[in-house]
């Protein structure tokens, strides 16, 4: 119960930010003029368009250019990121020029990795909560309409004692089904799994591995309320500590591939590398070690968002 309440509070916090973003002062960028803005992402219109609020409270609509450079700050230039890495709550610095629509066309985006990690952690919790709240509201409206319709039919019927009871039973069943659906939103079932294997001391993906990941990404596109769990493992070859790092690199390689193939960051749980733990085969044999050098992927679906609730009066 405490966990669900925390998620709702976070969702309401983001909702408040969205309201302020819509009501705040929006800067109209002068076409052709260069800009350099520091601020925080308060809302997103789509993958390449978002609102940044600067330190004095002025909002700017930013559109990522086709060749925009998106990197983390670093001594050697930092790491490159896709446009999907820009999420709500991210503190960043943007350089670009105004376009003809009053937006800032960004050519350079920079941020600290620590800020990205914090923003992603919040987005991972808040976005599913927002989806659950929206689904719950829509379902409640639909059930309410069905109940009203059934009550009207019942009241119009003659000798309506039995009809009224049937209608009441159907309404209760519908409400109970709705309540169960809402309570099931935090429960996940495994829709599909995949296992990717690696060569000794390697974490690069083979063509076969990419094909398996493509199948997972395709399956996910047809689901609502899904999450993808990625865990890395290593065989007993080599040093234990190095194998721990190697398993983490393998998990991250899979996660990066999925992100680059249209899986949103918020749909991926925090990846983890177990090292030589949780072996699935005997590490004393060559075949066993080959099976243990792996990454396991689980496509999880929310029970609450992948079931239909239908209210029907009993018929006799």
When pLDDT is averaged across residues 188-214 and rounded to a whole number, the result is 94
Q: Where are the domains of the chain?
A: 2-111, 126-186, 188-302
Q: What is the pLDDT of residues 67-82, one digit of tens each?
A: 999 999 987 778 999 9
Q: What is the pLDDT of residues 131-187, one digit of tens each?
A: 676 666 777 677 777 777 776 666 666 555 665 567 667 666 665 555 555 444 457
Q: What is the pLDDT of residue 168?
A: 61
The whole-model pTM stands at 0.41
Question: Which pLDDT band, with edges at 50, 70 and 90, does 222 fall under?
Answer: confident
Q: What is the pLDDT of residues 271-295, one digit of tens each?
A: 899 999 999 999 999 999 999 999 9
CATH classification number, 2-111, choose in 3.90.950.10, 2.40.50.140, 1.10.40.50, 3.30.70.20? 2.40.50.140
Which CATH code for domain 188-302? 3.30.1330.60
Cβ-proximal residues to 305 (8 Å cutoff; 6+ apart), any chain: 131, 132, 135, 185, 224, 225
């Amino acid at each position: 119960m405490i966990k669900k309440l925390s998620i709702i509070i976070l969702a309401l916090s983001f909702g408040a930010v969205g309201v302020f973003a819509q009501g705040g002062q929006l800067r109209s960028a002068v076409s052709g003029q260069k800009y350099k803005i520091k601020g925080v992402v308060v809302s997103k219109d789509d993958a390449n368009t978002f609102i940044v609020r600067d330190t004095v409270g002025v909002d700017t609509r930013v559109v990522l250019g086709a060749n925009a450079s998106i990197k983390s700050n670093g001594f050697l230039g930092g790491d490159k990121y896709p446009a999907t890495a820009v999420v709500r709550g991210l503190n960043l610095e943007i350089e670009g020029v105004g376009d003809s629509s009053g937006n800032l066309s960004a050519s350079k985006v920079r941020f600290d990795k620590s800020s990205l990690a914090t923003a992603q952690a919040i987005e991972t919790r808040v976005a599913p909560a927002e989806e659950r709240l929206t689904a719950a509201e829509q379902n409640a409206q639909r059930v309410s309409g069905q109940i009203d319709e059934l009550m009207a039919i019942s009241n119009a019927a003659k000798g309506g004692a039995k009809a009224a009871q049937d209608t009441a039973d159907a309404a209760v069943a519908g409400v109970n089904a709705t309540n169960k659906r809402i309570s099931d939103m935090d429960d996940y079932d495994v829709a599909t799994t995949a296992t990717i294997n690696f060569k000794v001391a390697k974490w690069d993906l083979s063509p076969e591995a990419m094909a398996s990941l493509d199948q997972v990404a395709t399956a996910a596109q047809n689901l609502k309320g899904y999450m993808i769990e990625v865990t890395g493992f290593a065989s007993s070859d080599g040093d234990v500590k190095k194998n721990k790092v190697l398993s983490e690199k393998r998990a991250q390689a899979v996660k990066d591939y999925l992100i680059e193939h249209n899986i949103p960051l918020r749909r991926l749980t925090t990846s983890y590398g177990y090292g030589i733990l949780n072996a699935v085969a005997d590490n004393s044999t060559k075949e066993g070690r080959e099976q243990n050098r792996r990454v396991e992927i689980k496509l999880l679906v929310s029970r609450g968002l992948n079931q239909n609730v239908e209210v029907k009066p009993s018929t006799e």
